[in-house]
C-alpha cells in the first residue's frame, strides 16, 4: 500500500487522509517507522538538514491517526560502513548527531514513546541476522547490499516491533516514475523480498528536501553534502540569512514553501512556534533541536 504526502496542506491531515483512503484502520499499539541514511553517492553527510523534520512530523501524525503506541527510527550507520569507504569515527559521529536531533524533536512534539536505533545495535540480534540472511538468500545474484539491509530492517521491525506504517521520502509522484535509488523503489524491493511486509505495512512518502542550489533543487531530507545550500540544524545557524542570500527568487520561494509545510504540521502537533514568518519560526526551532549537540 503506497501513498504520497504532497506539499501544500498540513502533513497531519494528509497522513490521515492517505491512510484512511487505502482502507488502513486504526491499530492501537502499532508502531510507525522511519529510517535515516548517513551517506549517499556524494559521500558521508556533513550535517543534518531541517528538512528531516518533515519525516518526523509525518511519522507522528500517522501515529496519532492509527492510535499507535510509539515511533521507531533507525539510523543506518552499518549501511554506510558496509557500502562506502568511510571512517568509522566519522560515521559514528554522524549517527549520534542524527540520533540526538531526532530524539529532541520527538520530545518537543510530544511523542509518548520513541525508540531510536542505530543499525549497528541490531547486528547481533539473531532474528535480525536471520532477516539479513533471508534477504541475501532471496537475491543470490549479488543485489546491492544497501537494498538488502534496508529490506531486512523493515521485515525485522514489522515482525518483532509491530511496525504497521513506514514513512519515507520520494522524488517521484508515483512508483512507476521512481528511480532505482528512490525510496519507493527500495520499498518495492522489500515487498518482493519479504511478501508479508506488503500485507502488514502501509508506506507513506513525504516530498524530497529542498536546497538553495538552483541546479539541484531537491535532495534527501536527512543528508547534506554542502551545508551552504541547506538549512542545517546546528548551533548558530542563520536560516533567514542563508535563504535570503540565495540569488534566485524561485529557489528561495520553493525552500520557504517547503519549510512552511513542515512548520505548519509541527504547530498542529505541538502548538505555536515563536515568530510571524516561516524563517523566523525555523530560526526559533533550530537551537531547540540542537540542544545536546557538541
pLDDT of residue 84: 83
Other Cβ atoms less than 10 A from the Cβ of 272: the count is: 8
- Residue 63 falls inside a structural domain: yes
Residue 87 structural domain: 2-289
Integer CA distances (angstroms), 81 to 77, 187, 204, in order: 6, 21, 27
**Chain center to CA of 247:** 29
pLDDT of residue 24: 53
- CA-CA distance, 95 to 23, in Å (whole number)? 36
CB of 61 within 8 A of CB of 265? yes
How many structural domains comprise the chain?
Answer: 1
pLDDT in tens, 97-128: 999 999 999 999 999 999 999 999 998 999 99
Mean pLDDT of the chain: 88
- CA-CA distance, 236 to 96, in Å (whole number)? 19
Of the candidates 91, 40, 21, the one whose C-alpha atom is nearest the C-alpha of residue 208 is 40
- Residue 189 falls inside a structural domain: yes
pLDDT in tens, 160-171: 999 999 999 998
- CA-CA distance, 54 to 39, in Å (whole number)? 19
- CA-CA distance, 255 to 240, in Å (whole number)? 11
- CA-CA distance, 74 to 129, in Å (whole number)? 16
- Residue 219 falls inside a structural domain: yes
User: CA quadruple 132, 135, 141, 145: dihedral positive or negative?
Assistant: negative
What percent of the chain is modeled with pLDDT above 70? 89
* Residue appearing with cell numbers 502537533: 269
159: CATH: 3.40.50.620
CB of 56 within 8 A of CB of 102? yes
CB of 55 within 8 A of CB of 221? yes
Given a cut of 70, is residue 2 above it in pLDDT?
no
Given a cut of 50, is residue 9 above it in pLDDT?
no
Of the candidates 65, 22, 11, the one whose C-alpha atom is nearest the C-alpha of residue 198 is 22
- CA-CA distance, 17 to 255, in Å (whole number)? 25
pLDDT of residue 86: 93
- Residue 75 falls inside a structural domain: yes
- Residue 294 falls inside a structural domain: no
pLDDT of residue 146: 81
pLDDT in tens, 260-293: 999 999 999 999 999 999 999 999 999 999 998 8
Greatest alpha-carbon span in the chain: 56
Q: Which H/E stretch holds residue 35?
A: strand 31-36
- Residue 222 falls inside a structural domain: yes
- Residue 165 falls inside a structural domain: yes
Q: What values do phi and psi take at 70, rounded to 5?
A: -160, 165
pLDDT in tens, 12-28: 555 554 544 445 566 77
Amino acid at each position: 500500500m503506497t501513498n504520497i504526502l504532497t506539499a501544500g496542506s498540513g502533513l497531519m491531515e494528509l497522513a490521515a487522509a492517505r491512510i484512511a483512503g487505502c482502507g488502513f484502520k486504526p491499530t492501537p499499539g502499532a508502531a510507525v517507522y522511519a529510517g535515516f541514511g548517513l551517506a549517499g553517492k556524494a559521500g558521508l553527510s556533513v550535517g543534518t538538514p531541517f528538512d528531516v523534520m518533515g519525516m518526523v512530523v509525518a511519522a507522528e501524525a500517522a501515529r496519532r491517526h492509527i492510535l499507535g503506541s510509539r515511533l521507531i527510527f533507525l539510523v543506518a550507520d552499518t549501511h554506510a560502513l558496509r557500502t562506502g569507504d568511510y571512517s568509522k569515527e566519522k560515521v559514528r559521529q554522524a549517527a549520534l548527531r542524527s540520533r540526538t536531533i531526532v530524539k529532541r524533536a520527538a520530545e518537543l512534539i510530544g511523542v509518548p514513546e520513541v525508540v531510536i536505533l542505530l543499525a549497528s545495535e541490531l547486528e547481533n540480534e539473531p532474528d535480525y541476522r536471520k532477516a539479513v540472511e533471508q534477504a541475501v538468500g532471496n537475491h543470490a545474484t549479488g543485489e546491492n547490499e544497501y537494498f538488502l539491509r534496508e529490506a531486512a530492517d523493515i521485515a525485522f521491525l514489522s515482525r518483532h516491533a509491530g511496525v504497521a506504517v513506514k514513512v519515507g521520502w520520494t522524488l517521484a509522484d508515483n512508483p512507476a516514475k521512481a528511480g532505482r535509488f528512490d525510496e519507493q523503489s527500495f520499498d518495492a524491493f522489500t515487498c518482493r523480498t519479504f511478501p508479508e511486509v506488503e500485507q502488514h505495512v502501509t508506506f507513506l512518502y513525504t516530498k524530497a528536501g529542498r536546497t538553495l542550489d538552483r541546479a539541484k533543487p531537491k535532495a534527501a531530507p536527512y543528508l547534506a553534502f554542502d551545508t551552504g545550500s541547506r538549512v542545517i540544524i546546528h548551533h548558530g545557524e542563520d536560516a533567514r540569512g542563508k535563504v535570503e542570500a540565495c540569488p534566485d527568487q524561485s529557489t528561495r520561494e520553493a525552500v520557504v514553501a517547503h519549510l512552511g509545510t513542515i512548520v505548519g504540521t509541527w504547530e498542529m502537533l505541538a502548538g505555536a512556534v515563536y515568530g510571524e514568518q516561516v524563517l523566523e519560526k525555523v530560526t526559533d526551532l533550530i537551537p531547540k533541536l540542537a540542544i545536546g549537540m557538541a
